[in-house]
Structure formats: structure tokens, C-alpha cells
Structure 1
Amino acid sequence: MILRSTKWAIALSVSFLMAGMDSARAEAIKAYTAALPPYTIAPDLEMPGISHEILEEMSKRSGVTIEIEYLPWKRAQSMAQKTPNALLFTAARTESRETVYKWIAEFIVADEVFATTTEAVNSLEDARQLSRIATLGGAPREKRLAKLEFGNVQSTPDTATAARLLTGGRVDAWFTLSQRVLHAVKSEGLDPSTIVIGTPVGSLRLWLASNAEFDPEVAAKLAQAFEDMKADGSYEAIVSAYLN
């Protein structure tokens, strides 16, 4: 009788241990981001952003539970770096970040362009001759022009303001990402056919990244889900919904 009770107790303990392990596996993975339209806009929207929708679909297909959290961008990066089981999106893959994160899937390539409503501006030197160029305040493109000592930059607080300045003729160009200007114009109910996109003067490869200690098996599941989306056209459908 004592032996049976002992065996039962051991079996029950093992059962609880396994249940705890299963629960731990099922815990949601945190995915940190910031408001970076059109890639990430805001949670709880019908159209929360290109990358936001892509990651949600990857979660469904892979069976990996993901909880998306919006934070200021610097804090989002910090949280991803110090949380072992965490993701970061949409992050530009740069030399300085290469070993800081693991890189799971390249979500989109974003060209840096000068958008105008007149003739195309195809180089930094051509842009230097303009009277006024809109940039997003604090964005890498504003910092780039400042480093090059451009004296014709007008800082704007958000994409909607920049789009209105451009289409209203109050700036000569907007230095931004190609997808960003097209989405902003569309969102403001303006005519995208009036926008002239110049030759790219740079490009960013925007990725789903992870903490350096992220589980490689989970990363592989997510990467495969992304490849499946590209193969069946669902990836392109998401991107097109924001830009066309």
C-alpha cells in the first residue's frame, strides 16, 4: 500500500512537472517595436502596419504565440537585447547591429528617396539645390542631411504633416523611405499619382530580429512561415494593401 502510494505520488509529481514545462513552452514570446509607419503603426487597428500584419500571420502559421508590444524605439531595442526570448521588428540590419541580434527574416527593403510633386530629384547634390526639404524629426534621414551640412531641412513631427507639406507645395521634397511616402499620401486621402519618386540614394534592409540567445528552433519555424507567405502570395497581398 505504501509502495503504491509512493508510485502514485511520484507519477503525480512528474505529471505536474511536465505540465509546467508545457506551460512554459506555450508562454507568449514578446515582440518589441515602435510606431514606424507604414511598417508598424499601432496595435488594435484594422491595418496596424505591414510588418505587424506579417508577424501576426507568421505566428498563426508557425504555431508560435507572439505578443506584440509598442514602445519608444530606443526602449524597444533595449528590451529585445536584454530579454532572451524576445523579438524586435522592424529593425534595419546594419554593421553595428550585426552581432547584437540574430536575424530571422528580411521583411522588406526600403529605399531612401526624395519624393517631389514636380521633376525627380535623383541625387543628394540635386537635393542640396532645393529651397526646402521635409524630414521626420530625429529620423536617420534628418541626421544624415545634418551630417552633410544641408541648410535647407524642415523638421516635421510625423508622416501626415510631411505628406501635407509636400502635396501642398510648402516644401520642395520629402526625404524619406519610398513605402513611407506612398502610405502617408494614401492615408491622408491625397492623390499618389502626383508623387514623383526619385532614384534611391540609399536603402535599408528591414528585418525581424531577435535577442542573441533566441531559441533557434523557434526562429526556424518563424522563418519557414515567412517563406511560405512569400511563396503563396499572402506576403505581397499585405504589402500591396498599404501602398496601392
Structure 2
Amino acid sequence: MAGVLRTLLLLAAACCGQAWAQAPAPELRLLAAELPPYTYQVPSASVSEQPGPGRGVLHALVLELARRVGHSGRIEYLPWFRAQEIARQGPRVGIVALTRSPEREPHYRWMVELLTDDLVLVGSPGVDVGALDRVKDRPVGVLEFSGAEALVRSLGFSQVSPQREEWMNAKRMKDRRIDAWVAPRAMVVHAVREVRGNLDVLQFGQVIRPSRLYLATSPDFPEDEAARWQAAWAAMQADGTAARIMRQQMQAEVNPVEDQKRRIREEPFN
């Protein structure tokens, strides 16, 4: 009898182990932040305690990409520094609109390159932006925890002014509180329009480097699963879907946000 019981217990354990082994892995957790025109919410968290749905060219691209691999398409919006921190640690975390740069290279799996923009140096009227060293000792705006911030700090800039969202840099530029700004071109244009700034008076200077924007993941994300996302992206490029989404999204109208509507009005950084 004891032998029969032992056999039954072993069979039960084996069945449970097989069921556990066959349990599907949880889907990739997708994170994003307020990085218009790439990823953003309308209204954003700076305007409403209940932010609206996600938008943006990379948000739309990743939604279609997720659909093709059988993912729910759920994208969580978090502060940018927190999204990066979680994506580095994992497990099974993806992050949208992350610029590939030397200091970030070892911390992520660079799964799909979605878009390339120009990282540019922009100056206030009359400011010489012919080269980065011309503004090395002037107040320079950057997005906090961005590749742009890492770059200017590595070059020894003495008056770096990081802000949590790019509209804050646009506002500081409009108010002449910074002399220069380092950011991807599309983000500069969107942010200036968002604060009703004047693009015509800004000095667009040196293109510093390409800003290669990725859907990246935590290092633990399996290679075979990453290959499915990469194959789906290749199909989106081949059938014209990626190009169509980019055209539609990059032509989207920018709705200005008045200062009095902001829940966050004062920049908490230098």
C-alpha cells in the first residue's frame, strides 16, 4: 500500500512539474514616458491627475508591433528615470523611445530600432551654436536622465540645467532662462509649439549625432522571443505599415498647453 501511495505521489509531482514547465511566460511589460512627439499622453500627468491615453509616433508603432506578436498592447507611462530603472532591472520589461548611447549600451537588449532623429544644439537669439564648445559655460537645458545630459556632462559643461520634461526646457528658452538646449530635433519642435514659443527666432546649430530610438528590453528577455518582435518589425517595414504610421503621426497637430493648466509649473531642478 505504501508503495502504491508513493507511486501516486510521484506521478502527481511529475504532472505538476510538467504543467509548471508548460505555463506561458508573462508578457513583456512595456514602459514609456512623456517624450512627445514619440510617446505621450493627452492630457499628460503635468495637466491632469488622471492622464489620458497614450499617443505619439513610437507609441503607435509599438501598438501595431505588439498586435502582430500577440501582445495585449498595454503600455504603462512612468517618470522617465523610473522607466529606465525598471527596464534595466527586469524581469521581462520593455521600454519605448530609448536612445541608444555608449553609456546605456550594456544595460539593455536593443531589440528594435524604430526611428532615427538628429540630436541638435539649439540656441536663443544671438547665441552662437556653431559648435558645442561655444556654449560650454552657458546655461544649457537638457532632459533629465537622457543621453543628451550624459553627453554634455561628459564634456565638462559647467551650467547644465536638466528638466523632467522637454516642455520645461522650451519654456525656459522662451523666458531666456537658458541660452542653449540639447535635444532631438522633433522633441524641440513639439515642445516649442506646446508652450507657444517661436521656432523662427531659435538658432538651430550643430547636429551632434544621430538619435537612434529603440524598443529596448531588460537584458534577461529571451533571444527567441526578441526574434519574434524583430521579425514582426521587419514585416511592418516590408508591407509599408511602419512608413504609413510615421507619416500620419508626425503630421499630428500640436495643441498648446497654457501655463495655468499645468499642475507642475515650477521646474524642480537647477
Aligned to 1:172: 179
Q: Deviations over 1:96-136 (max 9, x none)?
A: 5444432221122243222135466231122247x543334
Q: Distance in 1 between matches of 2:200 and 2:165?
A: 21
Q: Deviations over 1:24-58 (max 9, x none)?
A: 36x54211233334333248645533322221121
Q: Distance in 2 between matches of 1:215 and 1:147?
A: 33
Deviation at 1:168, TM superposition (A): 4.4
What one-letter code is carried by the residue in structure 2 that aligns with 1:214? F
Q: Is the 8 A contact 2:65 2:233 kept in 1?
A: yes
Q: Is 1:198 aligned to residue 198 of structure 2? A: no
Q: Distance in 1 between matches of 2:108 and 2:149?
A: 25
What one-letter code is carried by the residue in structure 1 that aligns with 2:55? P
Q: Is 1:103 aligned to residue 113 of structure 2? A: no
TM-score of the aligned structures, taking structure 1 as reference length: 0.71
Aligned to 2:251: 241
Percent pairwise identity: 25
What one-letter code is carried by the residue in structure 2 that aligns with 1:220? A
Aligned to 1:59: 66
Gap change, CA 1:151 and 1:214, over 3 Å in 2: closer
Gap change, CA 1:125 and 1:110, over 3 Å in 2: same
Q: Is the 8 A contact 2:110 2:217 kept in 1?
A: yes
Q: Mind listing any 5+ residue stretches in structure 2 that lack a counterpart?
A: 1-14, 45-50, 255-270
Q: Is the 8 A contact 1:106 1:208 kept in 2?
A: yes
Gap change, CA 1:97 and 1:219, over 3 Å in 2: same
Q: Is the 8 A contact 1:122 1:200 kept in 2?
A: no
Gap change, CA 1:160 and 1:72, over 3 Å in 2: closer
Q: Distance in 2 between matches of 1:98 and 1:153?
A: 23
Aligned to 1:126: 134
Q: Deviations over 1:58-86 (max 9, x none)?
A: 11233333432233444433433443433
Deviation at 1:182, TM superposition (A): 0.9
Q: Distance in 2 between matches of 1:194 and 1:47?
A: 31
TM-score of the aligned structures, taking structure 2 as reference length: 0.65
Gap change, CA 1:144 and 1:78, over 3 Å in 2: closer
Q: Is the 8 A contact 2:121 2:183 kept in 1?
A: yes
Deviation at 1:235, TM superposition (A): 3.9
SS in 2 for 1:212: coil
Aligned to 2:11: none
